[in-house]
Structures are given as structure tokens and as C-alpha cells.
Amino acid sequence: MRDPGLLGYGNPAALQKETRESGFFIKNIDNIFYNITLSFMESIHKIYYQNSNNLSNIESNSVDLIVTSPPYPMIEMWDNIFSIQNSSIKDALNNHHEQQAFEKMHQELDKTWNELFRVLKDGAFACINIGDATRTINKKFQLFSNHSRILTYCLKSGFTSLPLILWRKQTNAPNKFMGSGMLPANAYVTLEHEYILILRKGSNRIFKNDDEKKLRKESSFFWEERNNWFSDVWHFKGTKQRLNNKNTRKRSGAFPFELAYRLINMFSIKGDIILDPFLGTGTTTLASITSGRNSIGIEINDIALVAIPEAK
């Protein structure tokens, strides 16, 4: 059994105790697929180790909200995970066919976007955190606009686009400026923001019965939260990027708890099912637990999840 330290993050001791008593189960279904179910204050949290390009284990029209951040195409730390899924990506990178590599990486992600559209309920939201990439290939420095590629594809798949959020994560690192130093004209603007794309399947969500209407009321946010959260620029730093355990000493690409917590509270109500198809260290699961929502997480790499207690 894995360390239930997952629950230690940001939860009062009493709730941790209650959760430990209610159980934290890990069931080895076969060699490559694990299913974790955690019952916590009437919410259920499932984690599947699998590729999110096929979510046939999730029913169509069953999910209330998606909060996620995929591996970023053309950011070097994700080259390997894309190349494992399609070996021609590695060839394209090795042969300096950067546009081909960029497109093939996105074609892998497109399969997940299709699945997300299928499993979402009508009127439900998908929030996708994504950053653009800059990279020098064959001595040519250039921008790879991940956010526009994903947005274009999702619109083609049937999603409706809504006003998006710029997550400004300013850095004071002395080496942040790239290019020709103080000399024009080959100096480059520093990328200090990421995007949170906000998409919806269909139009306004309908709250059908008295129970749903009551839960919606119980999920309302404060006036200050409304003012901060619904602004189109969010300012907070990126989260700790390295996992501590020496066996898993690698970057996690985790987003801050606050980011997932806000999105969940803005676009879902208590008791809803939240899906993260690129779960990583489990931030979306933690924010769902804290917010009284149920969750499903999908992650291809069990090392990422083993690290949940240490990453938080």
C-alpha cells in the first residue's frame, strides 16, 4: 500500500484521520494497470494508470469538469514521453524537422481532446493549462505556439471557446533574457506566462432538479473570490518543479494547488465529477478532495504518482 501522505496536504488533522479510517486502497489489477479508490467525505477519487488517448473505461456524457495540463510539445523534458507514444517524433527531432515534430506531438494530444469531448456532459467545461515553447533547433530559435494549436483543434472537435486566462508567472532569474544580450536585433522577449484555455461542450449548463439547485447554492463563492478568480490575468508563481526522492529526481511539471482549486470552484458544484487526463503528481485530485468534488485521474507514468506525498 502506498503512503497515505497524499491526504496530508492542506487538510485538517481530523479529516486526515477520518480519511485514513475510511481507507486508501490500491488494487493491482494487472501488471500495467492500477486502480486507486479513495473514499473521503462522500467523495470518490479514482486514479487509472493508462494512456489518456483512449478513455473507454469512462462513460460518454458522464464528467462535469476537466482540469488538466498536458505534456507541453517542444519542451525538451516531454520529448521522451511523446517519442514513446510515436517513435517518428524522435526521428523528426533528430533530423531537425521541428514543425513535423511539433505537429506529431499535437496529434498525440488530439486523441485525448477527442475523448474529453466525448466524456463531458452537455454544458460542462474543460480548462486546459498550456504554455508555449521556445527552442533552438539547428541554430534557429523559434516559438512553438502550443496554445493556439490546441485551441484550433478543440474548436474543430466541437468545443466552444470562452474568454481565457493568462497565468503570469514572472521570474526574477538573472538568465531569463535570451538572445544577443544588450545588442539589437537578435534579442528575444521572455515568455513569462502560460494560458488556461476555457472551453465548453454545448451551451449553458442546466441545473435540473431541487437537489442540484441546492448543491449549486452551497457551492457559491465569496464576492472577493469572484473578483479575483474571474479576472483574465492570474498572478502566481509556478509550483516546486522537482520531486525530492532520489529515485524520482525529475521535473514534475505540476501546476499550483491554487490553480486547480480556483478552476474547480469556478466551474463545478459539490458532488460533481472532475477529470484530469494528465494527472501528474495529483494536484487536481487534492483540489477535488478539498472542494467536496469526486475525481478521476489518468496518468501514464506511475513514477509521477508515487511521488504525490513527496511532491506536496
Ligand X SMILES: C[S@@+](CC[C@H](N)C(=O)[O-])C[C@H]1O[C@@H](n2cnc3c(N)ncnc32)[C@H](O)[C@@H]1O
**Site track for ligand X across 35-54, x = CB under 6 A:** ----------------xxx-
Closer residue to ligand X (CB): 115 or 205:
115
CA distances from 65 to 62, 74, 147, 262, 309 (A): 10, 27, 19, 13, 25
CB atoms within 10 A of CB 309: 18
**Identity of the residue, 167 or 255, whose beta carbon is nearer to ligand X in the bound complex:** 255
Choices 134-142, 159-167, 207-215, 274-282; region in contact with ligand X by CB under 6 A: 274-282
274 touches ligand X (CB under 6 A) = no
Q: How many CA atoms lie within 13 A of 180 on its CB side?
A: 5
With CB under 6 A as the contact rule, the residue among 71, 73, 297, 309 that binds ligand X is 71
Binding part of the chain for ligand X, among 16-24, 92-100, 226-234, 276-284 by CB under 6 A, reads 276-284
User: Is 86 among the residues that bind ligand X (CB under 6 A)?
Assistant: no
Q: Which is nearer to ligand X, 17 or 251 (CB)?
A: 251
Residue 280 interacting with ligand X (CB under 6 A)? yes
Nearer to ligand X, 281 or 294 (CB): 281
69 binds ligand X (CB under 6 A): yes
The verdict on 150 binding ligand X (CB under 6 A) reads no
User: Does the footprint of ligand X cover residue 254 (CB under 6 A)?
Assistant: yes
Stretch that binds ligand X, among 115-123, 153-161, 265-273, 293-301 (CB under 6 A): 293-301
Choices 26-34, 146-154, 224-232, 299-307 (CB under 6 A): range interacting with ligand X: 299-307
Residue whose CB is less far from ligand X, 19 or 239: 239
Q: Find the angle CA(251)-CA(48)-CA(218) to the nearest 5 degrees.
A: 95
Burial level of 170, CB count in 10 A (0-12/13-18/19+)?
Answer: exposed
Residues in touch with ligand X (CB under 6 A): 51-53, 69-71, 81, 252-255, 278, 280-281, 283, 298-301, 304
